[in-house]
Structure 1
Amino acid sequence: MQIALFDLDHTLIAFDTGQAWTEFLIRRGHWPAEARETYLDFCRQYVAGTLDLHAMHRGSVGRLREVPAPTLARWLADFRAELAPRLAPAAHALVARHREAGDLCAIVTATPRFLAEPLAALFEVPHLLATESGLDEAGRRTGEIVGEPCFREGKILHVERWLARCFGRSLATVARSWFYSDSASDLPLLQAVSDPVAVGPDARLAAHAQAAGWPVIARPVLPSAP
């Protein structure tokens, strides 16, 4: 058994899913323009290594607290339609190479599951490990994270639980494992797989990859936005 794991933002895609979602909702008039700066501030915290993912979730997903589930489903369908032309052919080709080789493919992302699902479907990746968002009794987003965020060391926990639950395996017992990521925040999982690959890496990951002799590939090129 061989597995290929892919980070999402700035790895398989050349943009940030949460930022794209924020801009989508602002353009549609569903969110106020100031939501943009709120989200960008969280992005700056991420780059600085100070991000509290729970606070980010409350500040972004929490804005959907009053949105009925059917309405959110319509927004997500429209969002998926906007995302499709923004996916780079090189990213599709990378996933396809692993899929055609018989490798088990999964996206492993800190992005909330409900936002990552449209992208997993577009890439035809059957398994998605993501941060889980809480729901109230009416099926609306609460803004709280359920369980361990799929972030930093939490990505290893999500992968190990998935392998154990679905296949009775662990990272240590698969024949070969790849993980593709752009960020030093993913070093725990990159160091846990047999074949780490840095994708358009940030400065810290680039330095680590060079020192460790890891392969480095270019980030997928973003097609022109619609």
Structure 2
Amino acid sequence: MPLTKRYGYIAFYDLDRTILTGNSATSLVEEARKRGIMTGQQFRHALYLSLLYKLDWWDPARIITRMLSWLKGLPESSVRQLCREVFDQTLRETIRPEILKEMEKHRKKDGANVLLSSATSLICEPAAIHLGLDDVICTQLAAIDGILTGSTRGKLVYGREKRHRLLDYCRQHGYDPGKAYYYGDSRTDSHVMEAVGHPVAVSPDKKLYAMAIERKWEILEIIPALL
């Protein structure tokens, strides 16, 4: 879904814990296990990797790459359908209303809304369609004859690679990154946030919060509603 018109600027958004309150991969893995698509051993391994990620005990990019291994040998079409169903049945309900307001604000100001996420295209595309976004930049999965290999096609869109993709996208489409926005929640988004004129930290983790305070970045602190 490439840009179909000329906009005044671009607002880029992370997906997990930014547009969504949680992590799309976690929801996908849980549903895959329920349906028997993922074995018990694969599920336990995914939980272990998730723990390493949360505790910051290993390189996050390697963890994310390893978490894709359970997809090896699965038909791409089946996983695509699974992702659509997980989004429709689970993830759609976790979209932050505050982010929807930000997107609408940018639309009214002639801004394009673009998803820029380390999540795979199989989950990003249904999210982007539902949200009415103008384009998607995300991780692509490798497949041979319609069968997933459990690895990525090209680089994982994470960390410094996010920054590279944003700058390259702006250059190719003729937009000034100094006028761009980036909405992110994690310290791992700091590289791409430094590349734009308007970084916005969304319910940030401790490290990103400290960085946002120090650099006077906008902070969109979203407090969960009391039940």
TM-score (norm: length of structure 2): 0.85
Deviations 1:54-94, CA, capped at 9 Å, x for gaps: 5533x433322222233223323322321223323222222
> Where do 4+ consecutive residues of structure 1 move more than 4 Å?
220-224
Residue 189 (str. 1) matches residue 192 (str. 2):
yes
Partner of residue 73, structure 2: 66
Which protein, 1 or 2, shows the higher relative CO under an 8 Å CA cutoff with sep ≥ 6? 1
Instruction: Report the count of equivalent residues.
Output: 218
Partner of residue 202, structure 1: 205
Measure how far apart 1:49 and its partner are. 6.4
Q: Relative to structure 1, is the Cα distance of residues 55 and 184 closer, same or farther in structure 2, using a 3 angstrom cutoff? A: closer
> 2:18 is paired with a residue of what secondary structure?
coil
Residue 147 (str. 1) matches residue 150 (str. 2):
no
Deviations 1:135-159, CA, capped at 9 Å, x for gaps: 11x1221112222221111001111
Unmatched tracts of structure 2, length 5 or more = 1-7
Q: Relative to structure 1, is the Cα distance of residues 223 and 145 closer, same or farther in structure 2, using a 3 angstrom cutoff? A: farther
In 1, are the aligned partners of 2:201 and 2:220 still within 8 Å (CA)? yes
Q: Relative to structure 1, is the Cα distance of residues 170 and 177 closer, same or farther in structure 2, using a 3 angstrom cutoff? A: closer
Aligned pairs for 1:160-179 within 5 A:
160-165=167-172, 167-169=173-175, 171-172=177-178, 176-179=179-182
Q: Relative to structure 1, is the Cα distance of residues 221 and 27 closer, same or farther in structure 2, using a 3 angstrom cutoff? A: farther
Aligned pairs for 1:129-148 within 5 A:
129-136=137-144, 138-148=145-155
Unmatched tracts of structure 1, length 5 or more = none
Percentage of matched positions with identical amino acids:
20
Q: Relative to structure 1, is the Cα distance of residues 116 and 127 closer, same or farther in structure 2, using a 3 angstrom cutoff? A: same
TM-score (norm: length of structure 1): 0.85
Rounded Cα–Cα distance in structure 1 between residues aligned with 2:212 and 2:124: 27
Give the aligned CA root-mean-square deviation in angstroms: 2.4
